[in-house]
């Protein structure tokens, strides 16, 4: 299993769910798409680190942009630990 470092760039997310980014991308990813990708990576690679970038708090309406990827990363972290736990 190869080592992977994961970066989640909120610029790639659809502006309807992540308006507070540096460079919004029209027709970007939705939450379920990001979550599915992170789950696939967690199940097939050894995650050695991850980060979240490109949130602009000055245009983050009601913290919406901060909440969405941070929730995805918490679920990702849970998957990493669940999958790295020795099977009983």
- 């919004």: which residue's tokens? 24
pLDDT in tens, 25-84: 889 999 999 999 999 999 989 999 999 899 998 988 788 888 888 898 899 999 888 877
pLDDT of residue 88 exceeding 70, the answer is no
Q: What angle do CA 56, 24, 54 make, to 5 degrees?
A: 35
Please give the backbone phi and psi of residue 49, each rounded to the nearest 5 degrees, phi first: 175, 165
Does pTM surpass 0.95? no
> How far apart are the C-alpha atoms of 68 and 48, rounded to whole Å?
22
> How far apart are the C-alpha atoms of 83 and 78, rounded to whole Å?
9
């Amino acid at each position: 299993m190869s080592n992977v470092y994961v970066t989640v760039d909120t610029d790639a997310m659809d502006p309807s769910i992540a308006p507070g980014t540096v460079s919004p991308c029209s027709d970007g990813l939705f939450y379920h798409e990001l979550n599915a990708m992170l789950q696939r990576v967690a199940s097939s690679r050894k995650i050695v680190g991850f980060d979240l970038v490109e949130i602009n708090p000055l245009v983050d309406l009601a913290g919406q942009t901060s909440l969405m990827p941070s929730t995805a990363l918490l679920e990702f972290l849970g998957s990493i630990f669940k999958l790295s736990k020795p099977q009983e």
